[in-house]
Amino acid sequence: MSEWNQSFENEEENEPEIWDEHQWEEFFREADKRTDQYTHLLDKYMDHPDRDRIIAREMGWTRMRGESDDDQIDWTEEFMIDEYEEGEEWKRFTGYEPTEFDNFENLPLYVMAFEYTIDAMNMADEHFAETDDESVNEFLRNVTIPPAKIAGGFGFGFEMDSLGGNLANCKRGLNAANRMLDALYDIREKNLLDQETYLKYYSRGKEVRDELAIYIVELRERFRRGIP
């Protein structure tokens, strides 16, 4: 084999794998499990004097070589995924390149989802302030998720090496939108909300859900065609 061919094959071997949406979804599920485990341990050992090291041992974290026993354990890398999903730090981590929108706050789908969330939360304050019902709680748990996941997906960007993460985030938002609509339907079935208000918010919520589903199809086609 020529040196050129050998060099070309070595370059291919060293190229990072491009994850699709399913690989990113599995990554997110594992991150969720780790986060739940950490939250449980933190609650369990909150008042223990050696809390940090007990949690580190239970989580399977190891100190970096050269650290002394007195050094503080750095946990930031364990939950780096949070930086991708929320806030402004995503630009630093994703090698962000602008698309037709330079900020997720200008993305029409995000604007629609965010405005619906704000209005729905205000509606819940007005109608359910004194209501302790699981359907209401389920609605409130899920109504804030779609805009957060749209923003998080945008933070991953639209390059091939991160587009799968964008997709996986948006699919999480879509799942939450479906749960939100199911909960809203249950609320109406229990006569906890009048018909006019229900129809208004169900219609708007369905529009958010449907537009997000279309957006996912567009992202998936972009990935399939390998569009950077």
CATH number at 208 reads 1.20.1440.60
Condensed to tens digits (0 to 9), the pLDDT of residues 112-156 reads 999 999 999 999 999 999 899 999 999 999 999 999 989 888 888
Domain assignment of residue 118, yes or no: yes
Do 108 and 181 share a domain, yes or no? yes
Condensed to tens digits (0 to 9), the pLDDT of residues 189-220 reads 999 999 999 999 999 999 999 999 999 999 99
Q: How many domains does the chain have?
A: 2
Q: Provide the domain limits for residue 176.
A: 102-225
Do 57 and 141 share a domain, yes or no? no
Question: What is the model's pTM?
Answer: 0.68
Domain assignment of residue 221, yes or no: yes
Do 24 and 130 share a domain, yes or no? no
Residues 107/153, Cβ–Cβ less than 8 Å: no
Do 215 and 129 share a domain, yes or no? yes
| More confident of the two residues 102 and 96 | 102
Do 48 and 111 share a domain, yes or no? no
Domain assignment of residue 182, yes or no: yes
Please give the Cα distance from 86 to 72 (Å, whole number): 25
Domain assignment of residue 50, yes or no: yes
Residues 198/184, Cβ–Cβ less than 8 Å: yes
- Among residues 40, 61, 82, the one where a domain terminates is 61
Do 123 and 49 share a domain, yes or no? no
